[in-house]
Amino acid sequence: MKKQLLFIAIAGMFTSMASATDLYVRDLGAGGAYPTISAAITAAVDGDRIIIKPKIGNAPYLETVTINKSLTFLSENNFAKYYVKGAISIVPAVGRVVTINNMYAFQSDIVTSTTTLAGGRATVNIINCTVDGGLTLDNTQRVTANIFSSRCSGIARIVHGKVTGSFVEHLRIYEDAAPLATTDISIIGNEMPSGCIYDSTDYAFAFTNNDVAYTTSVAASGNSNLVLYGFDIAHMKVGSTNNVLNNRIYNETSGVTQTNRYAALYCEATESCVLYVANNILVNLSVNGGQDYALTAFNPTPTVVAVNNFSTKNMVFYGVDTQADNISNGTYDFDFNNNISTGGIVNTGINDDEYADIDLSRNDIGIFGGSNSWVNFYPPNAGNRPRVTYLNTPRRIYNGTTAMPVEATGISK
């Protein structure tokens, strides 16, 4: 019996070792590698890594890529991107984890296929990628999508996950389905030139240290009742507390007629919950009429708190329940070369250790303030070294605490 158990244990060990394999993809199958990404996927099993060598001159792999296994994709040349041009589709399945590193989706989108997951969830990780099109990761609910240190020139859509340290032209968060994830949604340290929409009742959210802008013309859109925003909150989770901290949210739109629907931060949610807005730069430039609302809470049900926010114009709120220590008609500047703030936003955020900057001084309003400063995320992959892309620790630790929850995500090939 002992010999039989020992044999089973050894066999299990070798089965485990053999289950994770590195498969190489090189142009024309050089060195015995696979000539296409699709061929490597066909040969792979769950847990394998597919390591892709960039082609000379960044020529793309021209193929349709369908990922239907739990796989990790990497560049053979550290931090150099491999180019892919074609339909790139991820097929979600319960328990499936797909991680894509260092891909350049050249003139292409990355999408999840439409399917139904029963009794579990899937995960998609997009890390240090460039996507010329969109990241449509909401076609299937119950998918946690994490976008780290990436660039998306189109619209990114998710139902749950984290977006950190990325350039996303426009971000949208939609409804998920049970079984829900056990964590909330985190949107931290991103640049979003065309705004963001949060439209989910499933999770609380943290929206921090993002640089968000929206500029358009109502006349050009042909819709005089258009909702115009930098960040639009359409729905929130009942009973939740949602944080909008240390962002710069900018909105400039011409031809406005419905003035209270025009704001840097616009909340139209009807759910009973809390929206806490603090340490933000809220700039709303009205053109051709309209009131310069920094924050509009269109419906009375959510409790909206606005404190220690800053504007270069007169700070005007609509529908806000509590407001204090907000600063109007100020001046400021960002030094992106040295990642520092100057002007009226320095040391004027909430004067509490819980919101302190990473140098432990009083909070600077805007994207360089607080513990999630842009310093943590930019430039991506500085010095071609692995780095932490997400770190969540308690803001305050009390006497008698015996366990401290910490969540961290890092990158290393």
The domain limits of the chain are 19-183, 185-380
Whether residue 266 contacts residue 300, with contact meaning beta carbons closer than 8 Å, is answered with no
| Mean pLDDT for all residues in the chain | 87
For residue 46, what are the contacts with CB-CB under 8 A and spacing of at least 6?
19, 69, 70, 71, 96
3-class DSSP state of 240: coil
Q: pLDDT for 57-80, tens place per residue?
A: 999 999 999 999 999 999 999 878
pLDDT of amino acid 338: 86
Whether residue 255 contacts residue 228, with contact meaning beta carbons closer than 8 Å, is answered with no
Angle, alpha carbons 362-365-371 (nearest 5°): 60
| Window from 180-184, 244-248, 263-267 with minimum mean pLDDT | 263-267
Expressed in angstroms, the distance from the first to the final Cα of the chain is: 42
- Class of 19-183 per CATH? mainly beta
Average pLDDT value for residue range 179-202: 95
Q: How far apart are CA 304 and CA 326, in angstroms?
A: 14
| pTM attached to this predicted model | 0.90
Q: pLDDT for 348-375, tens place per residue?
A: 999 998 999 989 999 999 999 998 998 8
Categorize the per-residue pLDDT at 241 as very low, low, confident or very high, splitting at 50, 70 and 90: very high
β-strand 167-173 against 151-158: which pairing, if any? parallel
Q: pLDDT for 128-138, tens place per residue?
A: 999 999 999 99
The answer, yes or no, to whether residue 8 has pLDDT greater than 60, is: no
For residue 58, what are the contacts with CB-CB under 8 A and spacing of at least 6?
81, 83, 104
